[in-house]
Structure 1
Amino acid sequence: MSAEIICVGTELLLGDILNSNAQFLAQQLAQLGIPHYYQTVVGDNPQRLKQVIDIAASRVQILIFTGGLGPTPDDLTCETIADFFGVPLVESAEIIEDITAKFAQRGRVMSPSNRKQALIPQGAEILPNPTGTAPGIIWQPRPGLTIFTFPGVPSEMHRMWSDTAVPFLKSQGWGKEIICSRSLKFWGIGESALAEKVSAYLNLLNPTVAPYAGKGEVRLRISAKASNTKAAEELIAPIEKQLREIGGLDYYGADDDTLASVVGELLRSSGETLSVAESCTGGGLGQMLTEIPGSSDYFWGGVISYDNSVKVRLLGVKPEDLEQFGAVSATVAEQMAIGVKNRLKTTWGLSITGVAGPSGGTDTKPVGLVYIGLAGSADEVRSYECRFGAMQTRSFIRHLSACTALDNLRRTWLIC
């Protein structure tokens, strides 16, 4: 038994709207332990929608539609589904009454076009919409196939799913098992390298382990199916422990952890403080740190030293070193880190200087060259050279720079 998600709307195909509904439904199906192997996005076209239904209905037992339930001519989901199964549409007096009441609450009169939303396939049950005017349906057009339709508005769909769809699914015996997942996060190692190190775990059946890469980090998702959350977590726990040991220092956190939140907890737990000096990241590192609630406990502030004169006046960078080595250099990164640490009187000083591009690179200092400085106790200072590649975008180089700076502080703190 499996489900398929079908999202209807030409605006989704054009990229005008992010398809968050598919992500939500996929997560919800996993929580119910209902497998789903396919997702489809189709435009507001009856013939193409019928083709999608024909394929999906032949391979799954649950079809979940979002979108195409509005009052306009291009909202064709219900009538196309009914036509595909050869069933007439009937007008629901209950839906008319509900829509009329909702318009009256807003001091308005229901438009004639809204009557279209009251047309549902004969024999279908109404899936109520408590917050909007577009109801859905729960329909079993033939044995072994159940259809759900939801409006495309995420907030309406979420409420309808939790209020009606989930109880219905459980009443039918679905959702007896759940799928729990744990996402382990790694920085400083590539996806292929990590996959090779954990290759023995990638063929497990329950729990399963799968690698993912994105925005500079790699994740290992551990998923387990069991009768309840506790049992699933017990399956995950030993595998997680082994994978963390294999990952070593490259492992930094799990699930909602970020490098900024992990570094923050390390600083808070030891009563230490941090200040930052940024050039090419333009405040991005400080933004990551201050996105964490309570970061004022350990993050005292920073200096955006974009111009060399600021590096000299506020951070104490030596003009002769700027002249000799350039702003993008290990020497300057170290002096920036020491300077901000001493200026703000923190335990740690962290600095970034580099060439984020797309212009400004040279043969000796190409786009993507970044230096990170880290100053600790007794003015001990070190620097790290990073080459993120000239083909990366400016924003991605800045993101990698800020994350790598945090990761270097994390590793140094753990080693010390």
Structure 2
Amino acid sequence: MSAEIICVGTELLLGDILNSNSQYLAQELAKLGIPHYYQTVVGDNTERLLDVIKIACSRSQILIFTGGLGPTPDDLTCETIAHYFGAPLIERADIIEDITKKYTARNRVMTPSNRKQALIPQGADILPNPTGTAPGIIWQPKPGLIILTFPGVPYEMHRMWLQSAVPYLKSQGWGQEIIYSRMLRFWGVAESALAEKVSSYLNLPNPTVAPYASKGEVKLRVAAKATSNIEAQKIIAPVEKQLKEIAGLDYYGADDDTLASVVGELLRTTNQTVSVAESCTGGMLGQMLTEMSGSSDYFWGGVISYDNSAKINLLGVNASDLDKYGAVSAIVAEQMALGVKDRLGTTWGISITGIAGPTGSTETKPVGLVYIGIAGSNGVDVTENKFGVTRGRSLIRHVSACTALDQLRRKLLAQ
């Protein structure tokens, strides 16, 4: 038994609207322990929607539709579902009454086109919409098949799902088990390298372990099926412990942790402070640090020294070194880190200087070359990083800031 998510709307296919509904529903199905193996996006076209319904009925037992429930001619979901199963559409007076009340409350008059939203297949139950005018349906057109429809507006769909769909599915025997997962997070290791290290865990039946990579970060999703979150956590715990031991310092946190939040907590608990001097990242590192509530406890400020004059006047970088070695160099990164640390009086100073591209490179200094300096009580360490031209400007800047945080994290853990 499995569910299938079908999102209807040409605007989704064109990329005009981000399809967040499928992500939300996938997460909600996991909470109920309902497996789902397919998601489909289809435009506002009757024939193609009929094809999708036919395929979905052959492989899934719960079909969840979002979108296509509005009052306009291209809103085809309900009438197409009814047509596929040979059921007539019935106008429900209670839906007309509900829509009329909502329009009256907004000092508006219901238009004739809104009557379309009151048409549902004969035998279907209404899935109430507390906020919008388009109700959904809950229908079992044949034994072993459940159909749920929702409007495409996310906040309407979320409320309808929680208030009506979840209780209904539980009443049908679903939700006896849940799928609970932990997302383990790693930095400084490639996805392929980590996957090789943990390869013996990737075929476990329960919990399952799956690798992911995104924007320089690698993740391992550890998911367990159980009767409760507590039981699932017990299943996950020993595997999580072993994975962390294998990864060592490359593991930095789990679930909602970020490099900035982990570094911030390490600084706070040890009563240490940090300041930043940024060139190519243009304040991104400072932004990451200040996204954390209470970051003023440990982050004292920074300098965006984009032009060489700012490096000289604000950070004390030697002008002759800039002339000789250039702004993107180890010696300049070293002086930037020391300069911001000394001027702001912090425990640590971090510097980033590099070439984010797409212009500004030379044969000896390609796009993606970034120097990161970490100044502490024992001097300065500078690393040369080659993040690669193919990553693009935005990603090079992001990876540079994250790598700087990771380098500080490792130093704090080594104390």
TM-score normalised to structure 2 length: 0.99
Shift of 1:396: 0.5
Task: Name the residue aligned to 2:90.
Answer: 90
Deviations for 1:157-209, whole angstroms, at most 9, x for unmatched residues?
00000000000000010110000000000001111100000000000000000
Q: SS of the residue aligned with 2:346?
A: coil
Q: For 1:79-124, what per-residue CA distance to the aligned partner results, in whole angstroms no more than 9, with x for missing partners?
A: 0000001100000011000000000001111110000000000000
Partner of 2:3: 3
Tell me which residue corresponds to 2:101: 101
How far apart in 2 are the matches of 1:391 and 1:114? Answer: 50
Is 1:120 the counterpart of 2:158? The answer is no
Is 1:318 equivalent to 2:306 in the alignment?
A: no
Q: Does 1:395 align with 2:394?
A: yes
Deviates more, 1:289-298 or 1:18-27: 289-298
Q: Which amino acid aligns with 2:52?
A: V
Q: Does 1:49 align with 2:49?
A: yes
Report the 3-state secondary structure (helix = DSSP H, G, I; strand = E; otherwise coil) of the residue aligned with 2:243. helix
Whole-Å separation in 1 of the counterparts to 2:414 and 2:230: 34
Q: What SS does structure 2 have at the residue aligned with 1:391?
A: helix
Shift of 1:325: 1.1
CA offsets 1:226-284 (integer angstroms, 9 cap, x no match)? 01111001001111000001110100000000000000000001010000000000001
> 1:79 is matched with which residue?
79
Report the Cα distance in structure 2 between the residues aligned to 1:219 and 1:390, rounded to whole angstroms: 24
Distance in 2 (alpha carbons) for counterparts of 1:273 and 1:52? 57
| Structure 1 counterpart of 2:146 | 146
Quote the Cα distance in structure 1 between the aligned partners of 2:412 and 2:322: 29
Report the residue type matching 2:222 in the other structure: I
Aligned twin of 2:27: 27
Is 1:232 matched with 2:232? yes
The secondary structure found in structure 1 opposite 2:389 is coil
| 3-state SS of 2:147 partner | strand
* Aligned-partner SS, 1:113: helix
Q: State the secondary structure of the residue aligned to 1:183.
A: strand
- Aligned partner of 1:158 in structure 2 is 158
Asked whether 1:369 is paired with 2:376, we answer no
Corresponding residue pairs, total: 415
How far apart in 2 are the matches of 1:382 and 1:325?
18
Partner of 1:382: 381
3-state DSSP class of the match of 1:58?
helix
CA distance in 2, matches of 1:303, 1:55: 58
Percent of residue pairs identical: 76
Q: Normalising by the residue count of structure 1, what TM-score does the alignment of the two structures yield?
A: 0.99
Amino acid at match of 1:401: S
Counterpart residue number, 2:201: 201
3-state SS in 2 of match to 1:131: coil
The offset of 1:412, in angstroms, is 1.2
Question: Matches of residues 266-281 of structure 1 in structure 2 within 5 Å?
Answer: 266-281=266-281
Q: CA deviation at 1:303?
A: 0.1
- Corresponding residue of 1:406: 405
Q: Which amino acid aligns with 1:404?
A: T
Segments of 5+ residues of structure 1 without an aligned counterpart are none
1:323-356 Cα deviation digits (max 9, x unpaired): 1111001110010000000000000000000000
2:221 matched residue in structure 1? 221
| Unmatched tracts of structure 2, length 5 or more | none
Give the whole-Å Cα distance in 1 for the aligned partners of 2:295 and 2:98.
Answer: 48
Moved more, 268-277 or 315-324: 315-324
Between the aligned partners of 1:135 and 1:25, the Cα distance in structure 2 is: 18
Q: Tell me, in whole angstroms, the C-alpha distance in 2 between the residues paired with 1:330 and 1:359.
A: 20
Identify the residue that residue 40 of structure 2 maps to in structure 1: 40
> 1:320: Cα distance to partner?
1.2
Map of 1:356 onto structure 2: 356
Between 124-133 and 320-329, the greater mean CA deviation after superposition: 320-329
Q: SS at the partner of 1:360?
A: coil
* 1:400 aligned partner, one-letter code: V
Consecutive aligned runs of 4 or more in structure 1 exceeding 2 Å deviation: none
**Residue aligned with 1:243, SS:** helix
Please provide the CA RMSD for this pair.
0.5
CA distance in 1, matches of 2:7, 2:47: 15
Q: Which amino acid in 2 is paired with 1:297?
A: D
- How many Å separate the matches in 2 of 1:126 and 1:297? 53
Query: Within 5 Å, which residues of 2 pair with 1:326-365?
Result: 326-365=326-365
- One-letter amino acid matched to 2:162: S
Query: What's the offset of the Cα at 1:382?
Result: 0.7
